[in-house]
Structure 1
Amino acid sequence: MDTAELRELLTPEALRLLDTLPLSEVPADAVALVTRLRKEGHPPGRVAAVLTQYRLRRKAQAKFGPFAQRMLFTEAGLEQASRLRVAAQHAGRYARAGLTRVADLGCGIGGDALALASLELTVTAVERDEATAAIAGYNLAPFEAARVVNAELADVSLDDVDALWLDPARRAGARKLSRPDDWSPSLDVALELSRERPAGIKLAPAMDRGLIPDSHEAQWVSDSGDVVEVVLWSGALARENVRRAALVLSADGRAHEMTAPADSADVETGPLGNYLYEPDGAVIRARLIGDLARRMDAHPVHPTIAYLTNDTLTATPFATAFRIVERWPLTKKTIVRGLADRGIGTLEIKKRGVDIDPAEFRKTLKLSGSGSATLFLTRVGAERVALLAERV
């Protein structure tokens, strides 16, 4: 967002106009909306700024729910912002640790700062980009104990805070946040700060695990099946004897967690049972599959593949269960015939441990019929197999 658009947006007229465009399940036709607003006498700059926010508010509902309707956004800020219920988990940890003065270093549009402030914590939200800082200021305006500082990290005094939250931004030109060179502030700077004060550092879940220091707790978080982050916790925010954690936020709003002092030991492989389990991505990233297998009295189907199996259905929030219907050799002719015999017209394809593109493979199957199923293309022991299954 450039300065001109920001100035146009942060006017009483533009904000009032934006609030007259309530979000609905069906987005308004953009051309018709522009025509209507222009006929009402609104200048082009105001219309453009308001419609950009209208679009971003709609998009933001997935992360912020009804709160999106009173917030402002930038494209990049919305993309990087924590989902609201994930941010609430962050904030709760600070509150439970008794840390009441938190500096959010690199606050973006203020999503995590908003969650912290909602728990009545004193928040100093620091953002170096002027436009993004202004947006954060608007979003945090309802909270008296929150203030936004537009400054470089090196220029901010941290004397009045007792804990930090860092969400490194993507450097200009970087395409992802899985490498230290992609982050600003750098990982070295973030870790140095986290050794001085209790801190949480939000990073991409695919980051190199070799960069995680032994002194920090690493918590991978999944939300409704999507692994969204890994957070490195230090000081009073890191739990005793916990260095690996998988936090699973289920679609029904509940939170479930597995913790361990280190990566879990493996479980020996065994034969395919009646049920196949796909562990949640957070459990896989945290390398807690062995602990999960022992909890479930299950075992892997292959030493390098993250599928578990057993003969008795075991309900767990940490894995999705499937009942095995058929086991076939991984040959196209056999699979096509088997699917046709069962009238499978709707097929979910999952693969691990085999060099097959599911999208291309689907094109060769000639699916027809009213049945539905899940097809796993994988390995069981030394054999390449296709497993027809149904979700439990």
Structure 2
Amino acid sequence: MRSQLGTEMAAVVLETARLQAKAIAKLGSGTWWVTERALQQATTRPVAEFKARLLSGASEVFDLCCGIAGDACAFLRAPGLADTSMTAVDRDPVMAAMAAENLRLNGNVSAASQVRVRCDDVGRLSIPSSATIHLDPDRRQGSARKTRPDDYSPDWDVVERLLEACRGGIVKLAPAATVQDHPLRHRLWISSAKSVREQTLLTGDVVSAAERDLGWELPPGGRSAVLLSGTAPPAVFGGQPDLDVDVADQPGRYLVDPDAAIRAAGLTQAFAVSHGLRTLGGPSGFLTGDAIDPAAMRTLAVCEAVDWFGACDDRKLRKLLRARNEYPERVKARGVAENPNELERRYRSCGDRPMTLWLGRLGRRQYAAITRDAS
């Protein structure tokens, strides 16, 4: 038994050493105890630090299904949580042990009594009604990601019970997860570095804290997109899904692509309505319009002036780009099979002047468009 335990510990040490560069890139500087699976599910540092602000002022926080404690470390480093009592819980003894060590190394723990780590099943916990919770259910089955909350661990009935019992809560969900809108909750889709990182369900006091932090109303039962970008304040857009929007059969003066968090939240049509835009080819297409102030949507979307529009044909596009001495520094594709990264490489040698290449679909035919910065 002792020999087997030693072998397992050696494997954990080797895996931790192998993954240090990835862990630092995702969680921030420091020494991190990790596994490949736990690191994949861990929250990126900018998102964890944003969520820490939403917990500001809480006297007692439970980080449930804490994994390697990336979130808990960010919470303990936040100025607004300096005096908060923290309990991190995970049912996996290896995760609980890693969480305890990561909190010691990276959590800026000011006192031994400030944070506790428990190896326990969150479904059996009794959470104080005065507590605020952060819950990160297990969303993986082996290497496969699960998007249905009913397939999470703990199951959704347990999540509901925990949310009903606490003062306020944050639940981390997959961006594509579908949960029933609740009159006392709000759903945020958070993007960082132009990628949707998570869907976050807020309830109780956390909704009010988020409104104060963002300076944006988060109506009960509503949904919003939050865009994180370096040290700049978060950009926010909210609205109602599935609004009716006019459809265009050719681009106007500008092409617009809202941030991925806005699309993931189902708010593309709401964004179009708020800026007087139409959808190009249908609801899943890019947006377009003429009377637009590009600066007004710069933090929320790519908005560029159309310079050329025509058929999507590889040979003709290559010839056109060479004649214009241009190459696509960015390719945006919607509803087509082409891989944007592959097209960027393929057309890089066509010229020296950068532009944006857009590929989409109008009915049965594919189109291409060339745009430039509209500022």
Question: TM-score, normalised on structure 1?
Answer: 0.78
Q: 2:191 maps to what in 1?
A: 222
Post-superposition shift, 1:74?
2.3
155 and 220 in structure 1: CA distance in 2 versus 1, 3 angstrom threshold: same
Q: 1:133 maps to what in 2?
A: 96
Q: Does 1:241 align with 2:241?
A: no
Match of residue 86, structure 1, among 47, 52, 56:
47
CA offset digits 1:365-386 (Å, max 9, x no partner): 7953333332211135786321
Q: Is contact 1:94-1:100 (8 Å) kept?
A: no
Q: SS state of the match for residue 70, structure 1?
A: coil
Mapping of residues 27-176 of structure 1, within 5 Å: 45=10, 52-66=15-29, 69-95=30-56, 98-118=57-77, 119-120=81-82, 121-141=84-104, 142-143=108-109, 144=111, 145-159=114-128, 162-173=131-142, 175-176=144-145
Q: Is contact 1:279-1:319 (8 Å) kept?
A: yes
Q: Is contact 1:177-1:203 (8 Å) kept?
A: no
| Aligned AA (1:322) | E
213 and 329 in structure 1: CA distance in 2 versus 1, 3 angstrom threshold: same
Q: SS state of the match for residue 185, structure 1?
A: coil
Post-superposition shift, 1:363?
8.7
Match of residue 195, structure 1, among 155, 164, 174:
164
89 and 77 in structure 1: CA distance in 2 versus 1, 3 angstrom threshold: same
Q: 1:314 maps to what in 2?
A: 294
Larger C-alpha radius of gyration, 1 or 2?
A: 1
Q: SS state of the match for residue 205, structure 2?
A: helix
| Aligned AA (1:263) | P
Q: SS state of the match for residue 350, structure 2?
A: coil
Q: Does 1:265 align with 2:235?
A: no
Q: Does 1:206 align with 2:176?
A: yes
- Name the structure, 1 or 2, with higher relative contact order (CA <8 Å, separation 6+): 2
CA offset digits 1:282-330 (Å, max 9, x no partner): 1112222233234433332233234222334412211012232211123
Match of residue 289, structure 1, among 259, 262, 268:
268
| Aligned AA (1:139) | N
Post-superposition shift, 1:135?
1.1
Q: 1:326 maps to what in 2?
A: 308
Post-superposition shift, 1:231?
0.9
| Aligned AA (2:243) | A
Q: Is contact 2:304-2:373 (8 Å) kept?
A: yes
Post-superposition shift, 1:226?
0.7
Unaligned runs of 5+ residues in structure 1 are: 8-44
Distance 1:162 1:359 in 2: 46
Q: Does 1:4 align with 2:6?
A: yes
Q: Is contact 2:90-2:121 (8 Å) kept?
A: yes
Q: Is contact 2:24-2:32 (8 Å) kept?
A: no
Q: Is contact 1:272-1:380 (8 Å) kept?
A: no
Worse-superposed segment, 121-130 or 310-319: 310-319
Question: TM-score, normalised on structure 2?
Answer: 0.81
Post-superposition shift, 1:61?
2.3
Q: Does 1:342 align with 2:324?
A: yes
Post-superposition shift, 1:85?
1.9
| Aligned AA (1:179) | R
Distance 1:154 1:346 in 2: 51
Q: 1:33 maps to what in 2?
A: none
Aligned residues: 346
Post-superposition shift, 1:81?
1.1
Unaligned runs of 5+ residues in structure 2 are: 209-217
CA offset digits 1:155-203 (Å, max 9, x no partner): 4332375221110113543600312354111123212321222221101
Post-superposition shift, 1:116?
2.2
Distance 2:129 2:179 in 1: 33
Identity rate, percent? 30
Post-superposition shift, 1:56?
2.2
| Aligned AA (1:375) | L
Distance 1:160 1:6 in 2: 39
Post-superposition shift, 1:333?
4.1
Distance 1:125 1:77 in 2: 15
Post-superposition shift, 1:131?
1.3
Distance 2:348 2:132 in 1: 58
Worse-superposed segment, 221-230 or 191-200: 191-200
